[in-house]
Structure 1
Amino acid sequence: MATTQDSGRSYHLQCTGPALETAEAHSAQEHITLFGSCFCPFVQRVWITLEYLGIDYAYYEVDPYKKPAELLELSPKGLVPALRLNNHHPPNALNESTIIMDYLEELANGDTRRSSHTVESLFPPPSDPYARALIRLQADCASRSLVPAFYRYLQAQDEAKQVEGATAFVEAIKALVALFERAEREGYTSYGLWNEGGSLSYADVMAMPWLFRATNVLKHYRGFVMPEGERFQAYMQRLVAHPAVRRTCSTEQLYLDSYERYAFNRPNTSQVANAINSGAPLP
């Protein structure tokens, strides 16, 4: 049964579980510093990318609602994730999760110190632009449909709106799966965990944080049940069990506590929540 009473719990300021172990293992100074927050799904996108590509980095936890000056220097809106590139004087900076992911992908594949046989990639090779485009179509579906549908569903307070939100979220999942199936029909099965034996893809990383939170946050606060189907269930198992994903996940209670404010649509929960309430694009 879904939780229906706001207990007033606040968001966490430190990772737990495997994510805490990963953060502690990356506390020493490196040429790249990821400014993140333990509960933020946009941060998790970048964190998974760093882990998967094997790029050296330092993880630095910040409170994005206090917007410390060091974060504002990197991200004008005070949003995480933000990347500080320490090899430059003064350091360069990047923000926006998809921009950072693209940068890290190019950085990893352009590193001449790494053997081309050992470099992981979230994309098919540039020699197959159509395959890369299929991955980007999947990623676009995650960003345009899945992510906003998640927040509209979670923030809905009226029962009818919650039913509507659940339907829209399921439809977004189905649209993403349809794109996975299209790539499979066309013979592209090496990239993407939809196919057993496939590698982690850009689209998997783009969607994962919200699919994962559907299994705990939406289940707890909205009684949501993930779509049935052997293929989809197997995909979810591969996704959440992937080592690069698992290393960035905290324990369930962190997410339940941190997302209670969304579930009861508290005023000024976040810039994302405000955008959903106003019907504006996500920041």
Structure 2
Amino acid sequence: MSTKADSGRSYHLQCTGVAKETAEAHSAPKDITLFGSCFCPFVQRVWVAFEYLGIDYKVYEVDPYKKPADLLEVSPKGLVPGLRLENYNPPRAVNESTVILEFLEDVAASKTKQSLLPPITEPYARALIRLQADHVDRTLIPAFYRYVQAQDEEKQIQGARDFVEAINGLIKLFQRAEKESESNFGLWREGGTLSLADVMAGPWLFRSTNVLVHYRGFAVPEGPQFRTYLDRLLNYPAFKRTCSTEDLYIDSYERYAHNRPNTSQVANAINAGTALP
């Protein structure tokens, strides 16, 4: 059970470490502006996709809890990430991380030829990766938040079990794809390339190695294949370029770990037992 006192620390407003260097390298105006927050995993999945797909962008860090007017213009709920498409007059917008990922796939198909999915001529291989991605959103992410927000010992123990079960479910889907598809998409395979599922899961698996370890004493699942996968993912250049220093995540997730009132719309949804926003 977590025994760390709530120090009242707030979330960070700017990236640190390697992520700060990446943000500074993308501070000039481009056709696409990425509205994001340094601590947000939904933003990170989109940021990784930008980096991997080779699409030009500008980083615009905002405080999503203040909901500035320009953020609301691109994301009506005031949630990050959001994209402002500057090459329209007036500019247009895309929001919701999964929709943004699909949008970036479409942009890359005509501009950079990079992809997070196998070719369209391999529909079954694409479907297997989409099943992995679906599991991440339906099961892994909610389990992460239930675990980190759990306050009593019994719920924390159950939270750890549920999160590990969600990881094991993802592993089974990876193993299924390895058995049923010849595609080299996905870092689960040696020599594989970054996949949509890797991008979707990566930010929460990364936070399991710092936030969950710090606040819940989480033991990352053993097993050489999973540990090798995690190492490949967290050290993959496009992913690593979006990672701040550990203290940013520890500080920014303290409010989740103590389940402070109105921590976020995501936290409120978990507490209410409703779907994530």
Q: Is the 8 A contact 1:33 1:85 kept in 2?
A: yes
- 1:250 aligns with 244
CA RMSD in angstroms, aligned pairs only: 0.9
Distance 1:151 1:22 in 2: 27
Shift in Å at residue 265 of structure 1? 0.1
Deviates more, 1:182-191 or 1:130-139: 182-191
- 1:84 aligns with 84
- 2:154 aligns with 160
Q: Are residue 181 (structure 1) and residue 175 (structure 2) matched?
A: yes
> Residue by residue, what CA displacement relative to the aligned partner does 1:33-71 show, whole Å, maximum 9, x if unpaired?
000000000000100000000000000000000000000
- 1:237 aligns with 231
Specify which of 223, 236, 240 is matched with residue 217 of structure 2. 223
- 2:275 aligns with 281
Q: Are residue 268 (structure 1) and residue 257 (structure 2) matched?
A: no
Shift in Å at residue 273 of structure 1? 0.2
Matches within 5 A, 1:2-41: 4-41=4-41
2:85 alignment partner AA = L
- 1:197 aligns with 191
Q: Is the 8 A contact 1:151 1:276 kept in 2?
A: yes
Shift in Å at residue 149 of structure 1? 0.2
Q: Are residue 124 (structure 1) and residue 121 (structure 2) matched?
A: no
Distance 1:279 1:267 in 2: 15
Distance 2:240 2:2 in 1: 26
How many residues align? The count is: 277
Distance 2:182 2:166 in 1: 22
**TM-score scaled to structure 2, two decimals?**
0.99
Distance 1:176 1:93 in 2: 32
Shift in Å at residue 120 of structure 1? 1.9
2:94 alignment partner AA = L
Question: Where do 4+ consecutive residues of structure 1 move more than 3 Å?
Answer: none
> Residue by residue, what CA displacement relative to the aligned partner does 1:232-269 show, whole Å, maximum 9, x if unpaired?
00000000000000000000000000000000000000
> Residue by residue, what CA displacement relative to the aligned partner does 1:102-156 show, whole Å, maximum 9, x if unpaired?
0001100122xx4xxxx32100000011000000000000000000000000000
Shift in Å at residue 3 of structure 1? 5.0
Q: Are residue 45 (structure 1) and residue 48 (structure 2) matched?
A: no
Shift in Å at residue 87 of structure 1? 0.2
1:27 alignment partner AA = S
Q: Is the 8 A contact 1:52 1:244 kept in 2?
A: yes
Q: Percent identity?
A: 70
SS in 1 for 2:209: helix
SS in 2 for 1:224: coil
Distance 1:3 1:191 in 2: 41
Q: Is the 8 A contact 2:28 2:58 kept in 1?
A: yes
Gaps of 5+ in 1: none
2:225 alignment partner AA = R
Distance 2:233 2:183 in 1: 15
Q: Is the 8 A contact 2:215 2:257 kept in 1?
A: yes
SS in 1 for 2:74: coil
SS in 1 for 2:33: strand
- 2:94 aligns with 94
Shift in Å at residue 188 of structure 1? 3.2
Distance 2:98 2:54 in 1: 18
Shift in Å at residue 2 of structure 1? 5.0
Distance 1:212 1:225 in 2: 13
SS in 2 for 1:183: helix
1:6 alignment partner AA = D
**TM-score scaled to structure 1, two decimals?**
0.97
> Residue by residue, what CA displacement relative to the aligned partner does 1:202-261 show, whole Å, maximum 9, x if unpaired?
000000000000000000000001100000000000000000000000000000000000
Distance 2:258 2:114 in 1: 40
SS in 1 for 2:94: strand
Shift in Å at residue 186 of structure 1? 1.2
Q: Is the 8 A contact 2:118 2:183 kept in 1?
A: no
